[in-house]
Amino acid sequence: MTSLTVRHPQLRSQLLALRDAYAQPRPWRSTWQLASTLVPHFVLTWLTYRHWNGPLWITLALLYANSLFLNRLFVLFHDLMHGSMYRSRRLGNLLGTLTSLLLFMPAHHWQYEHNFHHASSNDLGRRGYGDMPLLTVREYHALPPWRRLCYRVLRHPLFLFGPHALYKLVLFPRVVANPAWPVRVKRSVYLTNLALLAIFLGLWAAGLERLFWIQLASFAISTPTTVFLFYINHHFEQSQWRAPAQWNFVDAALRGTSVLIYPPWMRWFAAGIGMHCMHHLVPKIPNYNLERCWKESPLFDQATVIPFRDSLAATRLRLWDEDKQRYVGAEGYRRG
């Protein structure tokens, strides 16, 4: 199948038309999305605080319910930092920075990494920006035995959506992992850590430090689901990875990401993140316009549509096979 390129004038006009037609935020709707997420979150946090010494099952149920609202808040934070929810970039960044504190996430560090992810998604030569660790079959078999074992553990679903998810969303954002990061990105990490410390000390001084631990516990519980929601948008059998010479942005969006159809009750919590193909192509489209864009634009007729019931199959994918040009499962660990 021929790769698409943004140099094609007809395609370029289609992309501009998509931006003009659908990248139009409605401030009242964006504000309602935030309010209808934050208010239940704060209510559940307070209820958890009040019932902390009650039956354990009630506390755990409240923490899990709260984690679902944090899943949704993470997607809305993601949209704010893309500048898709408000016309004012400054307002979006301000609200994104404020909500990021509830997610223990340095806003501009996350934005920096995520922009790289959009610019390099499904490029075999630029892996490692906001995606999951992935090796090709040849790369895997070139490793010494102990590193192959580490990779197999890392790609196992219990580790990938457990300890790895906690590391990716809770521990990794705490440190400046790359000295070459821009000053703004480093500052985001330092200031976020200081702000979280100040919040904890303020709550501790008021005798309310339990609220901090409840927030952290709720977020920790949310991390497997958050990582899974983003994972399944990129890991599916029909997904295509390209060598750097063959890679282009449009092809990566149309053939490297999917349209994931959630059950109705999950759709609200996912906040449109399942419409990932459209989002990658035009990140400025608000989440509430993505489904309409998908249904109305013939450009997305070639997008891969995946019912949520089929999404668990993605957890069996382990390696990229360069010869077969597709994902393979654990059979890739064995030499042919």
Q: Where are the domains of the chain?
A: 9-333
Residue 47 vs residues 43, 200, 216, 290: alpha-carbon distances, Å: 6, 19, 15, 34
Q: Which residues contact 101 (CB under 8 A, 6 or more apart)?
A: 192, 195, 196, 199
- Cβ neighbour number for residue 101 with a 10 Å cutoff: 15
pLDDT 10s digits, 154-185 = 999 999 999 999 999 999 889 887 888 899 99
**The tokens of 163 are what?**
């300890």
pLDDT 10s digits, 13-35 = 777 888 888 999 999 999 999 99
pLDDT of residue 5: 44
Predicted confidence (pLDDT) at residue 97 exceeds the cutoff of 50? yes
Cβ atoms of residues 289 and 281 within 8 Å: no
- Cβ neighbour number for residue 322 with a 10 Å cutoff: 14
Average pLDDT, the chain: 90
Predicted confidence (pLDDT) at residue 301 exceeds the cutoff of 90? no
Sign, CA dihedral 141-143-146-147, equals negative
H helix runs in the chain, sequence order: 9-22, 27-50, 56-82, 89-102, 107-120, 137-141, 145-155, 157-160, 163-166, 183-205, 209-231, 249-256, 264-270, 276-281, 287-296
Torsion-angle region of residue 130: left (phi > 0), alpha (psi -120 to 50) or beta?
left
Q: Give the alpha-carbon dihedral of 210, 214, 215, 220, to 10 degrees.
A: 140
Q: Please give the share of the chain, as a percent, with pLDDT higher than 70.
A: 96
DSSP 8-state assignment for residue 179: T
pLDDT of residue 129: 75
Give the model's confidence band at 4: pLDDT under 50 very low, under 70 low, under 90 confident, else very high. very low
Amino acid 181 reads: W
- Alpha-carbon distance of 159 to 152, in angstroms, equals 10
Give the model's confidence band at 3: pLDDT under 50 very low, under 70 low, under 90 confident, else very high. very low
Cβ atoms of residues 260 and 311 within 8 Å: yes
pLDDT 10s digits, 187-243 = 999 999 999 999 999 999 999 999 999 999 999 999 999 999 888 888 888 888 998
Write down how long the chain is.
336
pLDDT of residue 180: 85
Amino acid 331 reads: E
Nearest by Cα to 15 from 262, 248, 231: 248
- Alpha-carbon distance of 193 to 173, in angstroms, equals 9
Listed range (102-116, 134-148, 242-256) with the worst mean pLDDT: 242-256
Give the model's confidence band at 310: pLDDT under 50 very low, under 70 low, under 90 confident, else very high. confident
**The tokens of 261 are what?**
């159809």
Residue 278's Cβ-count burial label (10 Å; 0-12, 13-18, 19+) is buried
pLDDT of residue 107: 95
Name the range with the highest mean pLDDT among 105-109, 129-133, 247-251, 291-295.
105-109
**The tokens of 193 are what?**
């850590």
DSSP β-ladder status, 326-328 and 304-307: unpaired
Q: Please give the share of the chain, as a percent, with pLDDT higher than 90.
A: 61
- Alpha-carbon distance of 106 to 79, in angstroms, equals 15
Note the Cα 164 to chain centre separation in Å.
Answer: 14
- Alpha-carbon distance of 68 to 244, in angstroms, equals 37
- Alpha-carbon distance of 203 to 122, in angstroms, equals 43
Residues facing residue 305 across a β-bridge? 259
**What three-state secondary structure class fits 156?**
coil
